[in-house]
Chains A and B, each alone.
Chain A
Amino acid sequence: MDMRAFRQKEFGGKVASDLLLSGAGSSMYILYYSLFLDRLNEASPAMILSGFAIVLIGLFFLLSELGRPRNFWRMAKNWRRSWMARGVIFNSLYLLDGLGIALAYALGYEGIIEILGALGLAFAALVLIYPVMLLRDAEDIELWRRAGSSIVILLSALSTGATIISALSLFIQPSVLKVSLEISMALILATLLASSLYSSSLGRAEELEREAKKTFNSILVPYTISLAIYALAIFSSQPSLQGGIALISSFIAIYGSLEFRLNLLGSGLHPPIVKEDLFKK
């Protein structure tokens, strides 16, 4: 450690998976719901509920990190100060909303579906933003507080959500396959652009800059492959081929997003504790 920056090692794979799935699940809900905003009766209940299911899977990763389920509820107490506490509340509200929608679908209450659906949009937006704020709250780790990190986290979450929609639509609702492919491609392109622009603005002189560059570059290869495959899918005329390609591309995009989050957490550098100026008379 001495006079060098030191790395956080506490947040690892499980936290990265939770951050990925909560972002992807909430994005799925926002994107899919927005597609059917004016014709909710045409929306597929399975597609709507899958956005909640993915966030729930993410929470299992968080629970396995915490060891005991009751620790999850205990974490909501300090919501005035801590973004982790707020995250627990946002996730709980979002999942309760999902449970309500599932019940309303089962009982056939369309009016309630509309109300809970609109509420779900607000909760999903909070779940989407919470990982960004959680990382920004660790004020000593500069990389996590940078605008570039926040933008790429959000865009990669949205693009991962879109790719999952396109993959699921193959099995659940083929009619949205084409539009979801177009949205996925646009969001992947936006993530690629944001990541590469930010990466190219970084130097190589300092350790922090090198780590940041490595982190942002890690998303470029999988996302470029994913984008190329999506382009193939869009130009293909056969829906079954489009769906198959979307499925493969979705996996690659999920891998890219997870890799980016793992690298972002792994390159969480604190500035050196002991600096030269301490020893100047």
Chain B
Amino acid sequence: MRYAMVIDLSKCVGCNACAEACKIEHGTGFGVKYTRIEEVELGSFPDVKKAYVPLQCMHCEDPECLKVCPTGATYKAEGGVVLIDQDKCSGCKYCMVACPYGARFFYEDKARPKDLPRMDSEEGRKGAVEKCDLCIDRLRVGREPACVEVCPTRARIFGDADDEKSEVHELISSGRAKALKPEHKPSIYYIW
């Protein structure tokens, strides 16, 4: 099984619902967005278009962040999801430097509010790196990631890329869905 997501940019309206749902789901601090929307201007005047490109951790097949992590805090879980063990993270930020997508964030000691959910390891969270975990807790109980569930235009399609009957498999294998920086073999694809 390999989890993958296809984002249809022609459907994305840049409403930031995915980014906000992610913040609520993970209780991230001020200024930290595991999912962010980049605005891209295309063409030149007068033929100009604007596209919204949601960016997040790409859960690469051979992640640079995992390779450089000195403590082994970054690891691959079921379905190829790249996770961080907060208790092991030393906060060296080497993974942030190595990540080709700028998808990781660092929490200083006092940045995280104390009463938010999923604070399973307060000690480990201090001075540690965090990022999108593809809502692994939701996946384990058969639900979709929060960003997929909340998208009003259904721009995000999620599934098992190894399942030949799945929509994501069809989109990826047909070549309609493209990867950003494909040399890193990401699990998030885009359709334009």
Contacts and interface: CB of A to CB of B under 8 A. Distances in A.
Contacts of B96: 8, 10
Interface in B22-60: 38-42, 51, 53, 55
Contact of A273 (B88, B102, B109): B102
A68 B181 CA distance: 35
A221 interface: no
Given A74-B90, A88-B70, A273-B180, A2 B98 contact: no
Given A67-B91, A75-B71, A2 B97 contact: no
Contacts, number: 113
B3 to A, nearest CB: 21
A67 B93 CA distance: 12
Contact of A281 (B180, B181, B190, B192): B192
A3 B40 contact: yes
B70 A82 contact: yes
A235 interface: no
Contacts of A201: none
A11, A75, A88 — most chain B CB neighbours (10 Å): A75
Interface stretch (A95-103, A111-119, A138-146): A138-146
A275 interface: yes
B90 A71 contact: yes
Interface string B69-107: 111100000000000000010111110111111100010
Nearest to A265: B97
A137 B68 contact: yes
A87 to B, nearest CB: 8
B67 interface: yes
A279 interface: yes
Contact of B100 (A2, A84, A270): A270
A41 B71 CA distance: 41
By secondary structure, the A interface counts as loop
Contact of B51 (A67, A85, A139, A279): A279
Interface string B98-128: 1111100010010000000000000000010
Contact of B64 (A2, A139, A275): A139
A141 B99 CA distance: 10
A279 B48 CA distance: 13
Given A68-B127, A82-B69, A278-B192, A8 B97 contact: yes
Contacts of B67: 81-82, 137
B71 A138 contact: no
B178 interface: yes
Interface range, A side = 35 or more
A1 B180 contact: no
B51, B102, B180 — most chain A CB neighbours (10 Å): B102
Interface string A123-136: 00000000000100
B70 to A, nearest CB: 4
A75 B38 CA distance: 34
Nearest to A138: B98
Contacts of A137: 67-68, 98
Given A1-B102, A140-B98, A274 B71 contact: no
A6 to B, nearest CB: 6
A67 B38 contact: no
A279 B192 CA distance: 6
A126 B94 CA distance: 20
A259 B190 CA distance: 41
Contact of A84 (B94, B99, B102, B184): B94
Given A10-B97, A140-B100, A77 B40 contact: no
A3 B67 CA distance: 26
A84 B127 CA distance: 18
Contacts of B192: 278-281
Nearest to B87: A74
B109 to A, nearest CB: 7
B180 A275 contact: yes
Given A66-B91, A71-B92, A270-B102, A82 B97 contact: no
Contact of B68 (A3, A84, A274, A277): A84
Interface of A: 1-3, 6, 8, 10-11, 65-68, 71-72, 74-78, 81-85, 88, 134, 137-141, 268, 270-271, 273-281
6 contacts: A11-B97, A81-B68, A82-B69, A141-B97, A275-B180, A278-B190
- Name the 5 nearest CB pairs between A and B, nearest first: A85-B70, A71-B90, A10-B93, A140-B100, A75-B70
